[in-house]
């Protein structure tokens, strides 16, 4: 029933590890996004895919690699985690890449020890 679901909800791990976050949407949308929300609640776009094609790639360290196996899924893999990666990561989707409402998942809280 959930429109945009991401797993896991919480991720606690050591510095230097590699981890992945998964996202799935059942809305039939063409476009999916990854956002990072910092401790001050500021939401910033990281990546966007439209029909499995990367269309937005903000200045994000290349330790972050998104992958879209199909248009309903967008995963985020992070290598060599650093303390500064601690944040809440949100997945979102929209019907297309035009000026559409975006539907967000409930976030993954990543804590680096």
Residues that bind other proteins (CB under 8 A): 4, 31, 33, 40-45, 48, 50, 55-56, 90, 92, 94, 96-107
Name the residue nearer to other proteins (CB basis): 67 or 103: 103
Contact by Cβ (8 Å): 60, 71: no
Please, what is the minimum distance in Å from the beta carbon of residue 112 to other proteins? Answer: 20
Alpha carbon of 110 to those of 24, 49, 65, 100: distances in Å?
A: 18, 22, 16, 28
Name the residue nearer to other proteins (CB basis): 10 or 17: 10
Name the residue nearer to other proteins (CB basis): 73 or 107: 107
Please, what is the minimum distance in Å from the beta carbon of residue 98 to other proteins? Answer: 6
- The torsion angles phi and psi of 111, rounded to 5 degrees, stand at -120, 125
């Amino acid at each position: 029933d959930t429109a945009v679901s991401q797993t896991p909800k919480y991720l606690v791990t050591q510095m230097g590890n590699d981890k992945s976050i998964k996202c799935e949407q059942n809305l039939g949308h063409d476009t999916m996004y990854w956002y990072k929300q910092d401790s001050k609640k500021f939401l910033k776009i990281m990546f966007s895919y439209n029909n499995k094609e990367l269309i937005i790639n903000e200045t994000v360290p290349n330790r972050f690699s998104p992958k879209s196996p199909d248009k309903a899924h967008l995963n985020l893999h992070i290598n060599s985690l650093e303390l500064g990666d601690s944040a809440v990561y949100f997945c979102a989707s929209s019907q297309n890449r035009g000026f559409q409402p975006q539907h967000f998942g409930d976030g993954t809280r990543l804590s680096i020890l």
